[in-house]
A and B are shown apart, each in its own frame.
Chain A
Amino acid sequence: MVNIMASRVRQKRIAQLVSRGKRLDERGLTDYRTVQVEAGLIERAEGSARVRLGKTEVLVGVKFEMGEPFPDTPNEGVLTVNAELVPLASPTFEPGPPDENSIELARIVDRGIRESKAIATEDLVIEPGKKVFVVFVDVYVLNHDGNLIDASCLAALAALLNTKMFNYEVKEGEVKIKPGYKPLPMRNYPVAVTFAKINDKLIVDPWLEEEQVMDARLTMTVEKDGKICAIQKGGYGYFTAEQVFEASKIARQKAEEQRKLVVTE
């Protein structure tokens, strides 16, 4: 059984180490834990991927449905991101409707994909203004050991890159499925980099116990050309402007590294 809370002594130790530039698991302050990406585990899904970030484990499945476009974007498909903090992933996760943590997680993943225009949504239109594909990205947290945001964003990207669309033709307003598949049209690859602030220092990829010690959290999502496409601050502490600028520089470098794990071009 995992400890829900690190002991006071351990919390103090984590904080002390960070101020000396060290971490309990011997990582450098800006090092990620080992990342493992596996794509295509769920055959029933149009796309799927599992990311292991240290002991954190997130599975993302992509499904398609036909639906109506939003009235203000009649020529674009629809993206819907949902996140489930599945109770089997942590003793702190309770069954029930999504709480603010899972909503925030889903919205951060959503914002990265949406703002970087990662999916070519204009290619998902069947009949302009009437019928489009709705892409459901479902984030399923299987084991919570900290930094769910980066693991979820990476898994979502890997799952989208793994997604196959069936071929179809439209006959008299009816969609007919044809044999064969093509990949989901993607044109950008957003990657989130999350920082925790401990003892006034920034660390990358906090694990669970570091999250319990941190004053505040900052996520920067970076797209393929190094532009920042989404930011989210969390936690009850604060950042100075200098720390925010420092984070943006580190994020761009780290995102580049992480992206190579899922995008092979």
Chain B
Amino acid sequence: MSQKKPEKLIDENDVRLDGRKLNELRPIKIEVGILGNADGSAYIEQGKNKILAAVYGPKEVHPKHLALPDRAVLRCRYHMAPFSVEERKSPAPSRRELELSKVMREALEPSVFTEYYPRTSIDLFIEVLQADGGTRCAGITVASVALADAGIPMRDLVSACAAGKVEGRVVLDLTDKEDKGGEADLPLAHMPSANAITLLQMDGMLTGEEFEQVVSLALEGCKQVSQVQKEALRAKYVVAKEAEAEKEEVEEGEE
């Protein structure tokens, strides 16, 4: 609470409350294909954030009049569970959630070859089970992996990460406390292959110079996130394929 004496978010050795350095991400863990019914799914833990993403489609559009003749419609729903935050959140979608659904959809759509699936819809559901700042970024990161898991052709994975300014310092991947107590938060989503920034938002106060520093740091963060995404997909698909190939080799050897 702002009334109490504010806690120091960064100590004199540049160490943050959770022990991270200024330019350090929270530990990220991504699991691929964990939901039975979805065409593609993924789960991410980034610090205390726990988020599920599921993809259904390409499938017939309901209601039908929303269908586009030349491409698929990508629909995205970002939603927070009532128990995901300190004070219970009403399950009805808030204005914030509606806005985030829109910007997340716009962050992911440049990566998807929607023109391959005219008259269909690709529905994306992002459920925040536990939130601790940076959920839109973690949500985009995990949703992009879920799209890949659904086998939807994509130009690149979209990786997202926030950077900002806390107690006068430029920091990476803000927690909820750092976001609320800090001076600025800038979420950014990036497709590395096209050097494309697909989501950019900011609230707070930054000079022009600080803005460039924060964007550069967020881009660095996105690169690291991208590695984790690729490893997670490899862990499911390449490792599984290798295991299969090995098994075949062994069988051939036996013959």
Q: Is the CB of B201 within 8 A of A232?
A: yes
Binds A, one of B59-67, B145-153, B189-197, B226-234: B189-197
A194 in contact (CB, < 8 A): no
Q: Mark A239-250, 1 if CB is under 8 A from B, else 0.
A: 111001100110
- Provide the residues of chain B in CB contact with A241, threshold 8 Å: 195, 197, 215-216, 219
Q: Mark B195-220, 1 if CB is under 8 A from A, else 0.
A: 11111111111111001100110010
Please measure, in the bound complex, the distance between the C-alpha atom of A84 and the C-alpha atom of B134, giving whole angstroms: 29
- Provide the residues of chain B in CB contact with A127, threshold 8 Å: none
B101 in contact (CB, < 8 A): yes
Task: Given A72-B2, A115-B204, verify A103-B98 contact (CB < 8 Å).
Answer: yes
A205-250 at interface with B (beta carbon < 8 Å) = 216, 218, 223, 226-241, 244-245, 248-249
Task: Given A229-B204, A252-B208, verify A104-B109 contact (CB < 8 Å).
Answer: no
Partner of B109, one of A223, A236, A239: A236
- Size category, A interface: 35 or more
Please measure, in the bound complex, the distance between the C-alpha atom of A241 and the C-alpha atom of B215, giving whole angstroms: 8
Q: Is the CB of A100 within 8 A of B102?
A: yes
Q: Is the CB of A233 within 8 A of B208?
A: no
Q: Is the CB of B205 within 8 A of A104?
A: no
A167 in contact (CB, < 8 A): no
Q: Is the CB of B208 within 8 A of A226?
A: yes
- Provide the residues of chain B in CB contact with A233, threshold 8 Å: 103, 106, 197-201
- Which residues of B pack against A, CB within 8 Å? 1-3, 95-96, 98-99, 101-103, 106, 109-110, 186, 191, 194-208, 211-212, 215-216, 219
Task: Given A100-B101, A103-B95, verify A248-B216 contact (CB < 8 Å).
Answer: no
Partner of A228, one of B2, B3, B199, B206: B206
Task: Given A72-B2, A234-B103, A235-B106, verify A115-B203 contact (CB < 8 Å).
Answer: yes
Q: Is the CB of B199 within 8 A of A100?
A: no
Partner of A107, one of B2, B95, B109, B194: B95
- Which residues of A pack against B, CB within 8 Å? 72-75, 98, 100, 103-104, 106-107, 111, 114-116, 216, 218, 223, 226-241, 244-245, 248-249, 252
Q: Is the CB of B208 within 8 A of A229?
A: no
- Provide the residues of chain A in CB contact with B219, threshold 8 Å: 241
Closest residue of chain A to B204 (Cβ to Cβ) is A115
Q: Is the CB of B203 within 8 A of A245?
A: no
Q: Is the CB of A231 within 8 A of B208?
A: no
Q: Is the CB of B205 within 8 A of A223?
A: yes
Partner of A100, one of B99, B195, B211: B99
Q: Is the CB of A245 within 8 A of B204?
A: no
Closest residue of chain B to A101 (Cβ to Cβ) is B102
Q: Min CB distance, B152 to chain A, in Å?
A: 16
Q: Is the CB of B99 within 8 A of A103?
A: yes
Q: Is the CB of B197 within 8 A of A238?
A: yes
- Provide the residues of chain B in CB contact with A238, threshold 8 Å: 110, 191, 194, 196-198
Q: Min CB distance, B23 to chain A, in Å?
A: 17
- Provide the residues of chain B in CB contact with A232, threshold 8 Å: 103, 200-201
Please measure, in the bound complex, the distance between the C-alpha atom of A121 and the C-alpha atom of B201, giving whole angstroms: 24
- Provide the residues of chain B in CB contact with A106, threshold 8 Å: 95
13 contacts between A and B (CB under 8 A): A103-B99, A103-B102, A106-B95, A226-B207, A227-B207, A228-B206, A229-B206, A231-B202, A233-B103, A233-B197, A241-B197, A248-B211, A248-B212
- Provide the residues of chain B in CB contact with A239, threshold 8 Å: 196-197, 200
Please measure, in the bound complex, the distance between the C-alpha atom of A23 and the C-alpha atom of B219, giving whole angstroms: 33
Closest residue of chain B to A239 (Cβ to Cβ) is B197
Closest residue of chain B to A82 (Cβ to Cβ) is B95
- Provide the residues of chain A in CB contact with B195, threshold 8 Å: 240-241
Q: Is the CB of B102 within 8 A of A104?
A: yes
Instruction: List 6 extra interface pairs beyond A103-B95, A226-B207, A233-B199, CB under 8 A.
Output: A106-B95, A228-B207, A233-B106, A233-B200, A234-B102, A236-B106
Please measure, in the bound complex, the distance between the C-alpha atom of A193 and the C-alpha atom of B201, giving whole angstroms: 14
Partner of A249, one of B1, B99, B196, B208: B208
Please measure, in the bound complex, the distance between the C-alpha atom of A106 and the C-alpha atom of B98, giving whole angstroms: 12
